[in-house]
Chains A and B, each alone.
Chain A
Amino acid sequence: MPLSNPPDVSDVSDVIVVGAGVVGAACAYYAARSGLTVTVLDRGPVAGGTTGAGEGNLLVSDKEPGPELELALLSTRLWQELARELPARIEYEAKGGLVVASDAAGMAALRKFAAAQAEAGVTAEEIPAGRLHELEPHLAPGLGGGFHYPQDAQVQPALAAAHLLRASGARVRTGEEVTAVLTGAHGEVRGVRTAAGDLHAPHVVNAAGTWGGDVARLAGAHLPVLPRRGFVLVTEPLPRVVRHKVYAADYVADVASGSAALQTSAVVEGTPAGPVLIGASRERVDFDRTLSVEALRRLAAQATALFPVLARVRAIRTYAGFRPYLPDHLPAIGPDPRVPGLLHACGHEGAGIGLAPGTGALIAAILAGREPPVSPAPFRPDRFGPA
């Protein structure tokens, strides 16, 4: 308020980012590189939400031509840059993806999908059935063939978020929950309130992921983010038994579906640390963390169907995460015309790790008044209308 004392300078920054997951970290990183001072707030720890429950998929292979693929291709290039700038411990691996079809019909569908992607700039190489085992020696016999996507990559998401945040130089305040968005006389954003006091900034970026709808509501905006639960199975430590990200063709259909019912399509991949990770189930059950034996059964059945060698390998861990789901499967990125100064960067569903740098770069360009690297129009946060 103009009448009160000027706020303490440590409580003032150009941008406040709400959310210390990978998207918030990327927004902080690119905003700071644009010369802005940034404060990052999270009610939990760094990477405590969906980032910490992710597999670290940086995929172009599962995306059909359109705005999300455009953002993914931008992000792919940015991840390559980040891999050079950040410590090797973020475990970036340009390992490539391998999508397999069980029969000739599946292969025909993959071929059509890949051809459309190629026109949008995706590299995809057809792998006939006879060559599958050159790429993945442990794959089951009798598959119909597959497509190799060399642009697919992987990163350890929690480490990536933590190192992005550290590299950003932003002030990071974890364990501090935003209880209100402060606005001025004309409804414009002035900062946020937490239990520790008021923080001031002309811009607030909502990077609260699955909880982005709650933060939007604090600012008086409607954003229908819903949790879509996924389980990941983690095996005992192994040598490299799976070289690529390997998944069956139905994964793409599951991602695109809006159904609330349980869907599973195994994505199998090794990690530098040793364990093999197996995702991905999808179901809308609110924030219920209770173990679903049925989800694990299907994931294990699909993974061992792809890689029979895994049948005797033990799963030592499983965890659930909640993807931030928006009804049209596209994230909300950019300024909210209903609340001046509020920007959104959330709702990436299962692609948040992959799309984080593109999202951060887009937000930073908007904040700095530069030409955006991709068009933000398809990601308009107010496209869902009022509640």
Chain B
Amino acid sequence: MARDRTPADLVGADPGPPFEITFDGRPVTALPGQSVAAALWGAGILAWRTTRNGGRPRGAFCGIGQCYDCLATVNGEPNRRACLVPARPGDAITTQEGHGHAGLAV
């Protein structure tokens, strides 16, 4: 049945061993070669940022590094483009709130 098919089936993927990253503390499985955004999509997570005025959820939109909507905090560093950054074993992804620089406020 078509609906049971996966992208991996389509291209006959035989990926390297999966590994774990975390999103807001909970484990997410990633495959070698996936971006942070792809790993999160793979786990059904579509939002990992809130906007700085409305506090609205956002995630990957353009998928090619142009829209900056997928900005995430990766291992404590804010404003990383999740659609470009490769997932690495043990990466801690956290929902970025607004500009992601609250610690700099005076």
Give residues in A with beta carbon < 8 Å to B: 136-138, 236-243, 274, 309, 313-314
Contact = CB atoms under 8 A, between A and B. Distances in A.
A239 B105 CA distance: 5
Nearest to A135: B106
Given A274-B99, A314-B79, A240 B105 contact: yes
What size tier do the contact residues of chain B reach?
under 10
Interface in B71-106: 79, 98-99, 101-102, 104-106
B106 A238 contact: no
Given A236-B79, A236-B99, A241 B52 contact: no
Interface of A is mostly: loop
Given A274-B52, A314-B79, A138 B99 contact: no
Given A138-B104, A138-B106, A309-B104, A239 B99 contact: yes
A137 B106 contact: yes
A241 B99 contact: no
Interface of B is mostly: loop
Interface in B13-28: none
Ranked 8 nearest A-B pairs via Cβ: A239-B105, A237-B99, A137-B106, A241-B104, A238-B101, A240-B105, A239-B101, A238-B99
5 contacts: A238-B101, A241-B105, A242-B106, A243-B106, A314-B79
Given A236-B99, A274-B52, A274-B99, A241 B79 contact: no
A239 B79 contact: no
Contacts of B102: 239
Given A237-B99, A274-B99, 6 more contacts: A138-B104, A238-B101, A239-B99, A241-B106, A274-B52, A313-B101
Contacts of A314: 79
Contacts of A238: 99, 101, 104
A241 B104 CA distance: 6
A250 B101 CA distance: 30
A314 B102 CA distance: 15
